[in-house]
Every structure is written in C-alpha cells, then in structure tokens.
Amino acid sequence: MKRAIPLYTFYKHKYGSELLIDIVELKNIKKFIAGKQAHTLSYYDITFITEGEGAFSIGNQTHHAVPKDVFFSKPGEIRNWDIHHIDNGFALIFEEEFLSSFFKDSLFVQHLAFFQPGTTSAKLHLPEALYVRFLSLLQNIKKEIDAYQSNDVHVLRALLYEALMLLNRAYQSLPADDKQNETGNPYIGRFIRLVDEYAECEHSVQFYAEQLCITPNYLNELVSTTLNISVKQYIRNKIMERAKNLLVYTRQPISEIAETLHFSTVSYFVRSFRQHTGTTPLLYRMGHQP
C-alpha cells in the first residue's frame, strides 16, 4: 500500500466564519500524527516548545528541540517531530492572505528573515524574558480568537504583527552562520518561489525565464552571481530533493516517482539520480527510509 506524505490544510471555518489564524497546542494534535509521520502544511507555522525535548525536523535540517525553542516552517516544507518526547508547546499558524490582504507589501510574510523562499530557517532559542512575553502574547491571541466575531480581525492582525516583528528582530540577531542565506534580489526571490512551485513538472530554464519576463542568459547570470550555481543545476537540485523525499517518506514505486517528477523514462530518472547522489533510487530508499 502506498504511503503519501500527508498534507494538512488550514481549517478556515473552525470558528464559524472564515478565520485564517489559529493557535493549537501540540499535545492536542499528536493524535493526528502517527508515530514519527512526516507531513507538510499548506500554511505558515511557528512552533514554540514548552515541555519535553526531542528531534524536530524541517526540510533536510534536524534539530534537538528543548523548551523555549522556536521553529518556523513555510507551506510545502516537510516536517517531522518526535511526538513521544516533545510533550507540549504551541503552534501559531496562519495563511499568508491574512496579512498580505492588509499590508501594502503583498510579500510581507516572505520578506521576514525566517520565511524567505527557497531556504530552511534555523532554530531560534528565546531568552527567558522574551519567552515569557511570548507566552503572554500567545494567550492574548488565543483569547481574541475565542471571542472572534465575523470580520473582526483588526486586533488579531495587530497581535500577529507584533509576534512576527519580535521574532524577526530576535532571528536577525542570530550569528550570520546560523541563519538561512538571503538574496535580496527580487528576480531571485521570484525565481526561487517559481521553482518551489513548478519543479516537479517544469525542468527547463526557458520556462522560468519566461515567467520572469527576462532572457535565459540574464536569469543564468543573476542566479550564478547570487547563488553561485547555474539555473539548470538549481532546478535539478530541487527535483532531486523532491525525489529523495518521495523515496524516504512514501512507498511509491520508482517508476511512479519518475512519472511524478516528469522524467521521460524510468531509466533517465535512475541515471540522473545516480549522477546527483552517487547511488540508485532503490539503494537510497533502503538506506534512508525509517
């Protein structure tokens, strides 16, 4: 039986009319995650650990989580946390639309240091004073949600904005080596987001250049200068990252993974995977699958 990576979507009408923000306790969502089941989310998530300690993975990064740690995940990132040893915490979750429809900057969320596209955020450990302040802020957000009335979201937006700005300031104070890489170039940011969205079905440099309304040569120049890698190789790296995730976290046959990732033949996929990793898809799965 095939085991796909579960995708959890936002429960927009949990409180009656549509509301795109929520706070959930980790102890209450453990029952929805079987064992150490990897999963993805369709929304933004900021997880605060309050009790217990254990492994917390996002993308290809695994951290040892302890109380006062904070983890950030973007839509589509693969997550996996140790429900047996991380006893409790809070997840502040929201849809980008909740803020982008209000601020003049439609990419406000993506411009936050810990939510920039194409990168995986580092762990943030809160000092005592900020940790206490955040617990109080999360309680206020929860109270406002519980008292929510249709279209009355201004206080909630203000509280979420305060939380994001405080975290952004704390995250930016991390040593440079601990942070994700930042590009600052608008074309690069859009390119990264496009590859995140279309890598499974679009493999050509031409496609991404056309989406950005620039030439393939100019796109290559930008990517090579900023990311120190060619456009073709960046796309291929993203495809192989998807392939690894499907091999590790699903039981899809190799042939089906090749089809999912739009390789023309299974042999071409196997050859490409071996060139990228030094091993075959089957051997990779056998050596990495939990």
pLDDT in tens, 185-231: 667 778 888 888 888 899 999 999 999 888 999 898 888 877 778 89
Q: What is the pLDDT of residues 94-105, one digit of tens each?
A: 998 888 767 766
Task: Check the CA dihedral 233-237-243-247 and report its sign.
Answer: positive
CATH number at residue 204: 1.10.10.60
Which residue did the predictor score with more confidence, 150 or 43? 43
* Same structural domain, 139 and 221: no
Domain boundary among 160, 178, 196: 178
| C-alpha radius of gyration, the chain, whole number | 20
- Domain containing residue 83: 7-178
What pLDDT score does 289 carry? 66
Gap between the Cα atoms of 289 and 216, Å rounded: 37
pTM of the model as a whole: 0.69
Residue 2 lies in a domain: no
State whether 57 and 120 are in the same domain.
Answer: yes
Identify the CATH number of the domain in which residue 167 sits: 2.60.120.280
Query: What integer best gives the mean pLDDT of the chain?
Result: 86
Q: State whether 171 and 259 are in the same domain.
A: no
Same domain, 37 and 162: yes
- pLDDT confidence tier of residue 174, bands split at 50, 70 and 90: confident
Instruction: State what percent of residues in the chain have pLDDT above 70.
Output: 91
Predicted pLDDT at 38: 81
Per-residue pLDDT, 183: 46
Are residues 151 and 23 located together in one domain of the fold? yes
Is residue 35 within 8 Å of residue 80, measured between CB atoms? no
User: Residue 182's pLDDT is what?
Assistant: 46
Total domains, the chain: 2
Q: Which residue has the higher pLDDT, 165 or 80?
A: 165
| Residue among 45, 43, 47 at smallest CA distance from 11 | 43
Residues 6+ apart with CB under 8 A from 213: none
Q: Which of 110, 51, 105, 112 minimizes the C-alpha distance to 75?
A: 110
Whether the CB-CB separation of 246 and 252 falls below 8 Å is answered with yes
Give CA–CA dist 79/120, Å, rounded.
11
- DSSP secondary structure of 124-171: EE--HHHHHHHHHHHHHHHHHHHT--TT--HHHHHHHHHHHHHHHHHH
